[in-house]
Amino acid sequence: MSEALSSPPLLQVDDLIVRYPVKKSLFKARQHVHAVNGVSFHVRRGETLALVGESGCGKTTVGRSIMRLVRPSSGSIRVDGIDIASLSRRELKPYRRKIQMVFQDPYASLNPRMTAGQIIGEPLGNFDIVHGADRENRIIALLEKVGLSRTHLHRYPHEFSGGQRQRLGIARALAVEPSLIVGDEPLSALDVSVQAQIVNLLDHLQQEYGLSYLFIAHDLAVVQQISHRVAVMYLGRIVEIGETADIFRSPIHPYTQALLAAVPLPDPRKRRIIEPLRGEVPSPIAPPSGCAFHPRCALAEDRCRREAPQVQEFRSGHFAACHVMARNNEYAARPSSREHGFARSGKIANS
């Protein structure tokens, strides 16, 4: 096991809850969107953790909470061991530098009135990193690092292609030498060929700087290609998490199985046993009782409607939350599994 894998995680999120208040109507009590409902996971140094799930399941809210663009209702977000969930703006500043975000739509996230040089220079100034002529050299070095050049220094965002704009967004994130980059669907707005170039760039930067990524994505083929581990979210909760190869080879949770069933098989003559997902995601204002997936689950039984399943370890480092699958979980029954430190309380422990 490498040093990175054995050291404490760079990011440790525990029991994160985020509720958004819904506008109060005259006759109703105040309601909340249960956007994130008790999420726990960690990201190690140099690791890519993908966060997947249907639209509205809370992926962006998790990312924005880690950036502290959203204030969590409760739970902890430890960065290098320090809980940033409730730090004030001033106390947050040194931690803001460690985590940067790259957004889905680079055009919307870049100031159209600033040149590329000013866009990359802004965080260098905010964090008082380099000054004078050194700053321009640093900006040019960052442009080159992401495959752009000094000729782009004075161009405005509308003078770049989509892929170049995303490179610029990555250069801005890199400027403050972060440890973790939260990518909120950073490839979704790009053509497939450009996606491949950005995947290569992210991979290269990870190798060079030992960066960690929390990669929020819809495209499971890309997730399979770039992530070390995958966390599957459903209606504000992580229902399965594990090594990418394990999740794709042997998904446990019926929701993960259905998500993967939606990915086309390379051999069209093959058929799947599990059907792709049917029905709509229920409202996060009033999530279903028990297991939130029960209205859409072919395996649901009475207990699923009454009781929320706890997360448990099914194989080494592979966790899921499902009553029915848990009945045949031989791994949890093994006495040695307790020594791995998995939490029966429903939290996903460090593996």
Ligand X SMILES: Nc1ncnc2c1ncn2[C@@H]1O[C@H](COP(=O)(O)OP(=O)(O)OP(=O)(O)O)[C@@H](O)[C@H]1O
Given the rule CB under 6 A, which residues bind ligand SF4? 253-254, 291, 293-294, 297, 299-300, 304, 309, 322-324
Tokens of 49: 């953790």
Residue 40 or 60 having the CB closest to ligand X: 60
Residue 33 contact, options ligand SF4, Mg ion, ligand X, none, Cβ 5-8 Å cut-off depending on partner type? ligand X
Taking the complex as a whole, the smallest distance from the CB of residue 65 to Mg ion amounts, in Å, to: 12
User: What number of other Cβ atoms are within 10 A of residue 100's Cβ?
Assistant: 23
Residue 100 contact, options Mg ion, ligand SF4, ligand X, none, Cβ 5-8 Å cut-off depending on partner type? none
Amino acid at 152: H
Chain contacts with ligand X (rule: CB under 6 A): 20, 33, 35, 53, 55-61, 284
For the chain, give the number of residues.
Answer: 351
Residue 284 contact, options ligand X, ligand SF4, Mg ion, none, Cβ 5-8 Å cut-off depending on partner type? ligand X
Residue 110 or 291 having the CB closest to ligand SF4: 291
Residue 99 or 322 having the CB closest to ligand SF4: 322
Total residues at interface with Mg ion (CB under 5 A) = 1
Residue 304 contact, options Mg ion, ligand X, ligand SF4, none, Cβ 5-8 Å cut-off depending on partner type? ligand SF4
Q: 87, 74, 84, 68: which is closest to 37 by C-alpha? A: 74
Taking the complex as a whole, the smallest distance from the CB of residue 234 to ligand SF4 amounts, in Å, to: 9
Q: Is 86 helix (H, G, I), strand (E, B) or coil?
A: coil
Taking the complex as a whole, the smallest distance from the CB of residue 268 to ligand X amounts, in Å, to: 28
Taking the complex as a whole, the smallest distance from the CB of residue 291 to ligand SF4 amounts, in Å, to: 3
Residue 170 or 235 having the CB closest to ligand X: 235
Residue 53 or 72 having the CB closest to ligand SF4: 53
Taking the complex as a whole, the smallest distance from the CB of residue 276 to ligand SF4 amounts, in Å, to: 15
- CA dist., res. 267 & res. 48, Å (int): 29
Residue 58 contact, options ligand X, Mg ion, ligand SF4, none, Cβ 5-8 Å cut-off depending on partner type? ligand X
Query: 11: which strand partners?
Result: 43, 79
Residue 160 or 255 having the CB closest to ligand SF4: 255
Taking the complex as a whole, the smallest distance from the CB of residue 36 to Mg ion amounts, in Å, to: 12
Residue 254 or 284 having the CB closest to ligand X: 284
- CA dist., res. 124 & res. 131, Å (int): 8
CB 97 within 8 A of CB 127: yes
Residue 60 or 164 having the CB closest to ligand X: 60
Taking the complex as a whole, the smallest distance from the CB of residue 228 to ligand SF4 amounts, in Å, to: 25
CB 203 within 8 A of CB 226: yes
Taking the complex as a whole, the smallest distance from the CB of residue 348 to ligand SF4 amounts, in Å, to: 17
Residue ranges of alpha helices (H) inside the chain are 3-6, 59-66, 89-96, 106-109, 116-126, 132-145, 162-174, 192-209, 220-226, 244-249, 254-261, 302-306, 323-327, 330-333
Dihedral angle of Cα 230, 235, 239, 242, to the nearest 10 degrees: 10
Tokens of 182: 């939260």
Mutual angle of helices 162-174 and 116-126, in 10-degree steps = 20
Site residues for Mg ion, window 27-86 (CB under 5 A)?
60
CB 51 within 8 A of CB 216: yes
Q: Site residues (CB under 5 A) for Mg ion?
A: 60
